[in-house]
Amino acid sequence: MADYIFEANHISKTFGKGGQRVVAVDDISLRIPRGKTLGVLGESGSGKSTLGRCILRLIEPDSGEIRFNGEIISGITHRRFRPYRRNMQMIFQNPFSSLNPKMSVGSAIEDPMRIWGIGDKESRRKRVKELMDIVGIHPRFAYAFPYEFSGGQQQRINIARALALDPKFIVCDEAVSALDVSIQAQIVNLLMDLQKELDLTYLFISHNLGVVEYLSDEVLIMRNGKLVECSTAEDIFLNPKDEYTRNLINSVPSMPTAEQLLAKISR
Amino acid sequence: MERNDAPILEVQDLKVAFQTDTGLLKAVDGLDFKLRPGEVLGIVGESGSGKSVSMLSITGLIKKEGRETGGKALFLGRDLLKLNADGLAKILGKEIGFVFQNPMSSLNPTLRIGPQIAEGMLLHGKAKRSEVKDMVVELLNKVGIREPAMRYRAYPHELSGGMRQRVMIAMALSCGPKLLIADEPTTALDVTVEKQILELMMQMKDDLGLSIIMITHNLPVALNYCDRVLVLYAGRMMEKGSAYQLVSKAGHPYTKALFSSNMELGRKGIRIEPIKGNIPPLTQLPEGCRFHPRCPAAKDKCRSEAPVLLQATDDSHFVSCHFPN
């Protein structure tokens, strides 16, 4: 087995032509060790979501090579790519719009297994219940519809669906950004627990520095499609090399201390 | 601090409810606060806490049909809840300015930004037609838009998100309001831009002697920029106090839980203990304290009896909890 479950080398993607040309991803390389999390941080328009989509081939990159478990998965036909697909899943930002409003959540979680022809109806139902249990939704809600759940519960259901095919690698694109503060921590902890239990590897795309620091082993900073720096989370947040990274970290409002607030009042 | 001045806005026991198919939805239940001149008040809460609804209701921006409102909202002595549409129109945009979360959907995409700002000034008689352009350009300059004379003719889509929010602030300040209500003003912005916009708002407050109500879900933002903070949960006030009081002696378990589940920098390796459970739907609120199903310290009394807001550590700090500490 390769050391890195996922590798992408020199990925580029350009949209539009002539004066309208936008280089969304400009020669980005990354690799993620098995069972670890690579956080991708960037402001809006930095190309972080395009990068996430390119490496799953949801958007075809213009150039670059992608390897899964050491095997090249870029430039091959979709028919040959398909067996790899089930090992890579994605969790999106908006938990409600990523679920079909007309489908019960149980069927939504079962859907990937049905498409792949895994098991029979009964065994799939059983697996749906297991998955719901894993993500902390009581299996008796399998027949309920997405609108009946809160945002945090909907995101748990999306996670259950992403896990249905036993993937090895999951791209989380702003997976907690639409959630309330008290729910964000629940979902982040759930993702981290699942990683340990199921030996998952994550690419975690976010603009939220606190969340990325909390759950990432390594962090890649992007700006205008280009790589700014990539290192271990400790390195990036405690010892940032680049001016842009430093500015980003300093802009995050931190919880003021009582002493700081006292000083402000007496001023 | 001008502690003894008459308040700009005094809200007393504000209640807002909506008739829905699934029953009466109590969005705000008993909001009380005084906003003094030059003060920045933060209203902090998660979705469904009533933070936006309360401000939109007192300013009539949520239509009266289907809305049941109780209590008082005294703006410089006049009860906003008793004014009709004409009466409110004379105050809104003139004495009370608004900044909303999404500047792109708050600005008219078919109008150049300059004339868009000028519209309100002409309507409220704050400028003559002959001089309004110069005044708008001056205003754009003041909110930090470079080459303001050229930007006067720009359309909203030609500006970045941060620039658009600066335009929104210019518009809100164009008639010289006494009160600025900012509803999640930086939530849609990148962190580097967020800091610039918050600092611009604080500078405008000092320059123009504004009072500000800032609605936000971001606790660090509220504590860094607001003098006093209200913490709302499911339509009720949980705690009210100065930023210092909340940081140094938060009394409500919900406030404490917000602090401990906040994902700020420097939490790596220390597992965050999140608040368990979910925010209740407002049509199915629990009996007793609304936070009790998620509260780690809930006792029998919390399940049956709703606590009232009581004075805590000193006369400006209030907590609504049977067992505060």
* Torsional sign, CA B223, B225, B231, B235: negative
Is the confidence at residue B183, as pLDDT, over 90? yes
Q: Which residues pair with B181 in a beta bridge?
A: B98, B213
List chain A residues with CB under 8 Å of B218. Answer: 181, 253
Interface-testing mutation among A179, A181, A187, with chain B (most B C-beta atoms within 10 A): A181
- Confidence (pLDDT) at B4: 56
* Mean pLDDT computed over A202-213: 95
Instruction: Answer with the residue of higher pLDDT: B167 or A178.
Output: B167
CB A190 within 8 Å of CB A108: no
Residues 6+ apart with CB under 8 A from B266: A213, A237, A254
pLDDT digits (tens, 9 = 90+) for A137-167: 999 999 999 999 989 999 999 999 999 999 9
* Torsional sign, CA B284, B286, B289, B295: negative
User: What mean pLDDT value characterizes chain B?
Assistant: 92
Nearest to A180 among B1, B46, B192 (CB): B46
- Confidence (pLDDT) at B1: 46
Nearest to B261 among A182, A213, A248 (CB): A182
- Confidence (pLDDT) at B120: 94
Query: Which tokens in the block code for residue A63?
Result: 């150039």
- Confidence (pLDDT) at A182: 84
Nearest to B191 among A189, A214, A251 (CB): A251
Q: What percent of chain B has pLDDT over 90?
A: 78
| Residue B181 CB coordination number (10 Å) | 27
DSSP letters for A63-88: EEEEEETTEE-SSS-HHHHHHHHTTE
Nearest to A256 among B47, B223, B271 (CB): B223
User: What mean pLDDT value characterizes chain A?
Assistant: 94
C-alpha B75/C-alpha B175 separation (Å) is: 17
Is the confidence at residue B2, as pLDDT, over 50? no
List chain A residues with CB under 8 Å of B104. Answer: none
Interface-testing mutation among B196, B244, B276, with chain A (most A C-beta atoms within 10 A): B244
- Confidence (pLDDT) at A56: 94
CB A30 within 8 Å of CB A41: no
Give the rounded distance of the alpha carbon of B245 from its chain centre. Answer: 20
* Nearest Cα residue in chain B from A260: B244
Nearest to B265 among A183, A210, A247 (CB): A210
Task: Give Cα separations from A34 to A3, A37, A233 (angstroms).
Answer: 7, 9, 16
- pLDDT tier at B268, thresholds 50, 70, 90: confident
Cβ distance A256 to B46 less than 8 Å, yes or no, reads no
- pLDDT tier at A225, thresholds 50, 70, 90: very high
Q: What percent of chain A has pLDDT over 90?
A: 89
Residues 6+ apart with CB under 8 A from B120: B93, B94, B126, B171, B174, B175
pLDDT digits (tens, 9 = 90+) for B12-53: 999 999 998 888 899 999 999 999 999 999 999 988 899 999
Nearest to B275 among A182, A234, A256 (CB): A182
Is the confidence at residue A17, as pLDDT, over 80? yes
Listed in order, strand segments (DSSP E) in chain B are 9-20, 23-35, 40-44, 67-75, 78-79, 96-99, 179-183, 211-216, 228-233, 236-242, 310-311, 318-319
Cβ distance B192 to A265 less than 8 Å, yes or no, reads no
* Mean pLDDT computed over A210-220: 96
* Nearest Cα residue in chain A from B282: A150
* Nearest Cα residue in chain B from A45: B190
* Mean pLDDT computed over A229-244: 95
Cβ distance B195 to A253 less than 8 Å, yes or no, reads yes
C-alpha B257/C-alpha A6 separation (Å) is: 37
* Mean pLDDT computed over A75-81: 93
Task: Give Cα separations from A38 to A35, A104, A175, A217 (angstroms).
Answer: 10, 33, 14, 6
Q: Give the gap in angstroms from C-alpha A65 to the nearest C-alpha of chain B.
A: 31
List chain B residues with CB under 8 Å of A183. Answer: 46, 274, 278-279
Residues 6+ apart with CB under 8 A from B194: A251, A253, B186, B221
- Chain B residues interacting with chain A (CB cutoff of 8 angstroms): 1, 46-47, 161, 190-192, 194-195, 198, 217-221, 223-224, 242-244, 247-248, 257-259, 261-268, 271-276, 278-279, 281, 294
Give the rounded distance of the alpha carbon of B186 from its chain centre. Answer: 12
pLDDT digits (tens, 9 = 90+) for B95-132: 999 999 888 889 999 999 999 999 999 999 999 999 99
Burial of A156: CB neighbours in 10 Å, binned 0-12, 13-18, 19+: buried
Task: Give Cα separations from B104 to A8, B59, B162, B189, B270 (angstroms).
Answer: 36, 22, 10, 12, 39
Regarding beta strands A218-223 and A37-41, do their DSSP bridges make them parallel or antiparallel, or are they unpaired?
parallel
| Distance spanning both ends of chain B, measured CA to CA | 28
Backbone dihedral angles phi then psi of residue B71, each to the nearest 5 degrees: 95, -165
C-alpha B191/C-alpha B221 separation (Å) is: 11
Backbone dihedral angles phi then psi of residue B319, each to the nearest 5 degrees: -135, 140
Backbone dihedral angles phi then psi of residue B28, each to the nearest 5 degrees: -135, 130
The three-class DSSP label of residue B37 is coil
Cβ distance A255 to B274 less than 8 Å, yes or no, reads no
Q: Give ∠ CA A3-A46-A247 in degrees, rounded to 5.
A: 95
